[in-house]
Amino acid sequence: MKHIFLNLKRFDITPELGGVNRLAEPSAWGEAVTSSIKQVAERYADIAEFAAFLPEAHLIGAVRGAGQSPLGVGCQGVHGTDTAVGGNFGAFTSLRTGNAVAQLGCGWALIGHCEERMNLRAVMSEAGAAPEDVERAVNRVLAREVLAAQAAGLKVLFCMGERSEEVERWEEVLTAQVTAGLEGADLANVRIAYEPVWSIGPGKTPADAPYIQKVARLVKSVVPGVDVVYGGGLKADNAEMLAGIPEIDGGLIALTRFSGEIGFYPDEYAQIVDLYLNA
């Protein structure tokens, strides 16, 4: 079984405010996204698992748009603690809990994305923590989030990856992220997305097939049985390459167009999925 994930970050913001939403009015954006791509999930339901991760304000619309299709809807992270009978009744102002998004109809949570890791590092660094202590703390925080998501009944897409200053220690860094971040987790309900942070972004050299393959092999040796997808951006120009790596079980799509009117376009999403699954 392959896995196709979609992370829409804050793509609901219109170009007038610096965003890339050219799909629908912000109030209808979540429903527009899922209703326009669910046919892809239906077409490939026998060979691939699909889920889309959206900003919190759009989850209700996204669930409505996905309907009874095989397209799962997920949130972009959860808080590490949650409500409990006889415990905390909901004192989590500004924080997103697993129970909250599960009751909105979500079945997935995206945890550990490089942007979340970057924010956690920044917060901890403000307190003056040493870099090595920061990394250990980030992994512990993410582990609590994974457990909280699973306690709420959510499947988890767990992201991990090394930065440019960590490439020489890639094996040590990635092993620590996976082992600490998934400690105690139900691995049957986890998928892992590998993000080579050092290679993502304008002007950077994308990771090649041999590099991606060696990382996937490492991850699968550390957590046997857990599928690994490429989180550095599944797109039209790398779909065939990624499909040729036996250890990679799918991909994470974000933008579909990287020049001109950049953004996410449902028809281009369908083309990327077709290219990957039919390669």
- Long-range contacts formed by 229-232: CB under 8 A, 24+ apart: 229/3, 229/5, 229/157, 229/191, 229/192, 229/193, 229/194, 230/193, 230/194, 231/113, 231/159, 231/161, 231/193, 231/194, 231/195, 232/161, 232/194, 232/195, 232/196, 232/199, 232/200, 232/206, 232/207
pLDDT digits (tens, 9 = 90+) for 56-112: 999 999 999 999 999 999 999 999 999 999 999 999 999 999 999 999 999 999 999
Catalytic residue among 3, 31, 113, 145: 113
**How far apart are alpha carbons 117 and 158 in whole angstroms?**
12
- Is the model's pLDDT at 129 over the cut of 90? no
209 within 8 A of 241, measured Cβ to Cβ = yes
Catalytic residue among 31, 116, 135, 195: 195
**Residue 79 is among the residues annotated as catalytic for this protein:** no
pLDDT digits (tens, 9 = 90+) for 226-258: 999 999 999 999 999 999 999 999 999 999 999
Q: Provide the pLDDT confidence category of residue 201 given band limits of 50, 70 and 90.
A: confident
The whole model's pTM is what? 0.97
DSSP 102: H
Distance of CA 213 to the CA centre of its chain: 19
Identity of residue 118: M
Domain spans of the chain, in order of start: 2-277
**Residue 113 is among the residues annotated as catalytic for this protein:** yes
> What's the whole-number average pLDDT of the chain?
97
DSSP 18: T
Q: At what angle do helices 29-43 and 266-277 cross, to 10 degrees?
A: 30
Domain over 2-277 is classified CATH 3.40.50.170: no
Q: Provide the pLDDT confidence category of residue 146 given band limits of 50, 70 and 90.
A: very high
State residue 163's pLDDT score: 97
